[in-house]
């Protein structure tokens, strides 16, 4: 059931054309395509075959053919050529990323913006998951009556904070003391191991403050994997430019789904196990995205994957371009995060 060279060529031509035009492509268009010297009738025969094999579909008799998800899968796996980024595109990315970025949140936001600006699709970025980071500092800062702010800082320069309760009898000196002890004791400990370590090392001078320490640790653990999905989103409205979403209801459901973030969060989390993923149309589990394709990549510090980001577009997206952009971004984001944040 695999295709001969000619069928492949025709299929590729159809897909390329459809990606550009978004409207069913007919036999005539392909027969005029450079390279083939075949009449439209011949192409028609081939197209009928391709349709039988499930690679093409017809919206209705007497329309051209459009590629099926199966066709896109084949295209992505075997015939797509990555499109190198143009100078202009690189300039766009640079413009977004070269601003003064002294905070991780800002980096994430600008990454999303750069991605959506350069691809014209919808971009999403999952901020770093701190699990694999190592602790650098813990600070307890007393606030008003019975409250304090826990601040944790990790090796890579990420800070998280949370308000916690403090026993009434605890002085601010003692909070300072505890901060110092915790920092010392757990310096360079993986963030996701702090919980167990604290549990096992609760003895000694810390024992009497057990309950309090537990609440501190719990607060920290909540921050490792943000429960409030903090996914950065950009260019959701780009989708409205594409004829696929000229139907108001489709547009509405798409935007609503995306605004909720939580689906994106799940997808990105799942995807952060693999360097790249491409999910086409029906391969998506969410009903919502059955006619979208989603391409993701991970970024990392050293070898440790930190988080991921991706592009959502119509199945008819420009896969070649998108892949190149993600590759480029993966590299620059990883560099940016491991070597330095732009403080100048």
For its own copies, the binding residue among 34, 62, 144, 208 (CB under 8 A) is 144
Q: Which stretch binds its own copies (CB under 8 A): 41-49, 79-87, 253-261, 267-275?
A: 253-261
**Residue 38 in contact with DNA, rule: CB under 7 A:** yes
Which one of its own copies, DNA, none interacts with residue 50, CB within 5 to 8 A by kind? Answer: none
Shortest approach of its own copies to residue 237 CB, angstroms?
4
For DNA, the binding residue among 42, 120, 155, 183 (CB under 7 A) is 42
CA nearest to 178, candidates 228, 145, 141, 147: 141
Tell me the number of residues near DNA by CB under 7 A. Answer: 25
What is the phi-psi region of residue 89: left when phi exceeds 0, alpha when psi lies from -120 to 50, beta otherwise? alpha
Shortest approach of its own copies to residue 344 CB, angstroms?
7
**Residue 28 in contact with DNA, rule: CB under 7 A:** yes
**Residue 234 in contact with its own copies, rule: CB under 8 A:** yes
Tell me the number of residues near its own copies by CB under 8 A. Answer: 45
Q: Which stretch binds its own copies (CB under 8 A): 29-37, 63-71, 184-192, 232-240?
A: 232-240
Give 205-212's long-range contacts (Cβ < 8 A, gap of 24+): 205/181, 206/178, 206/181, 209/170, 209/178, 211/167, 212/166, 212/167, 212/170
**Residue 90 in contact with DNA, rule: CB under 7 A:** no
Shortest approach of its own copies to residue 204 CB, angstroms?
23
Percent helix, percent strand, percent coil in the chain, to nearest 5: 55, 20, 30
**Residue 155 in contact with DNA, rule: CB under 7 A:** no
For 118, list phi and psi in degrees, rounded to 5: -85, -25
Please spell the DSSP secondary structure of 23-62, one letter per residue: SPBPHHHHHHSTT----HHHHHHHHHHHHHTTSEE-SSTT
Contact 296, 277 (CB under 8 A): yes
**Residue 129 in contact with its own copies, rule: CB under 8 A:** no
DSSP 76: I
**Residue 311 in contact with DNA, rule: CB under 7 A:** no
Contact 160, 152 (CB under 8 A): yes
Residues 85-104 binding its own copies (CB under 8 A) are 100, 102-103
Q: Burial code of 172-182, b = ≥16 C-beta within 10 A, e = fewer?
A: eebbeebbebb
| Angstrom distances, CA of residue 252 to CA of 83, 237, 249, 303 | 32, 11, 5, 40
Considering the complex, state which of residue 50 and residue 124 has its C-beta at the smaller distance from its own copies. Answer: 124
For its own copies, the binding residue among 29, 151, 181, 288 (CB under 8 A) is 151
Q: Which stretch binds DNA (CB under 7 A): 37-45, 91-99, 123-131, 255-263?
A: 37-45
CA nearest to 157, candidates 136, 141, 178: 136
For residue 157, the tally of other CB atoms under 10 A from its CB is 16
Which one of its own copies, DNA, none interacts with residue 252, CB within 5 to 8 A by kind? Answer: its own copies
Q: Which stretch binds its own copies (CB under 8 A): 73-81, 245-253, 288-296, 322-330?
A: 245-253
**Residue 139 in contact with its own copies, rule: CB under 8 A:** yes
**Residue 163 in contact with its own copies, rule: CB under 8 A:** yes
**Residue 73 in contact with its own copies, rule: CB under 8 A:** no
CA nearest to 230, candidates 116, 340, 130: 130
**Residue 51 in contact with DNA, rule: CB under 7 A:** yes
For its own copies, the binding residue among 137, 185, 197, 209 (CB under 8 A) is 137
In angstroms, how far is CA 161 from the centroid of its own chain? 24
Work out the widest C-alpha separation in the chain, in whole angstroms.
Answer: 90
Question: Which residues are near DNA by CB under 7 A?
Answer: 24-29, 37-42, 44-45, 47-48, 51, 58-65
Question: Which residues are near its own copies by CB under 8 A?
Answer: 100, 102-103, 106, 109, 136-137, 139, 141-144, 147, 149, 151, 153, 155-157, 159, 161-165, 219, 222, 228, 234-237, 240-241, 246, 248, 251-252, 255-256, 259, 340-341, 343-344
């Amino acid at each position: 059931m695999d295709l001969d060279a000619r069928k492949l060529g025709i299929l590729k031509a159809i897909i390329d054309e459809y990606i550009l035009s978004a409207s069913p492509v007919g036999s005539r268009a392909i027969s005029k395509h450079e390279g083939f010297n075949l009449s439209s009738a011949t192409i028609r025969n081939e197209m009928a075959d391709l349709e039988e094999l499930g690679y093409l579909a017809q919206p209705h008799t007497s329309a051209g053919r459009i590629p099926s998800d199966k066709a896109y899968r084949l295209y992505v796996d075997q015939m797509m050529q990555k499109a190198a980024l143009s100078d202009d595109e690189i300039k766009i990315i640079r413009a977004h990323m070269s601003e003064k970025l002294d905070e991780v949140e800002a980096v994430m936001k600008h990454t999303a913006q750069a991605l959506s600006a350069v691809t014209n699709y919808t971009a999403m970025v999952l901020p770093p998951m701190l699990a694999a980071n190592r602790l650098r500092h813990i600070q307890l800062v007393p606030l008003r009556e019975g409250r304090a702010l826990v601040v944790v800082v990790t090796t890579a320069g990420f800070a998280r904070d949370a308000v916690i309760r403090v026993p009434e009898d605890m002085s601010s000196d003692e909070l300072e003391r505890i901060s110092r002890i915790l920092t010392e004791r757990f310096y360079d400990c993986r963030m996701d191991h702090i919980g167990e370590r604290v549990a096992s090392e609760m003895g000694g001078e810390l024992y009497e403050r057990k309950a309090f320490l537990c609440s501190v640790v719990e607060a920290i653990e909540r921050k490792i994997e943000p429960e409030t999905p903090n996914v950065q989103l950009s260019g959701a409205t780009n989708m409205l430019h594409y004829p696929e979403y000229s139907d108001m209801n489709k547009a509405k459901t798409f935007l609503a789904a995306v605004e909720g973030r939580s689906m994106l969060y799940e997808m990105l989390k799942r995807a952060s196990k693999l360097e790249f993923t491409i999910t086409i149309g029906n391969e998506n589990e969410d009903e919502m995205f059955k006619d979208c394709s989603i391409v993701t990549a991970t970024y990392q510090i050293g070898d440790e994957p930190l988080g991921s980001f991706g592009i959502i577009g119509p199945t008819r997206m420009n896969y070649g371009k998108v892949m190149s952009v993600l590759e480029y971004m993966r590299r620059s984001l990883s560099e940016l995060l491991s070597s330095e944040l732009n403080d100048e």
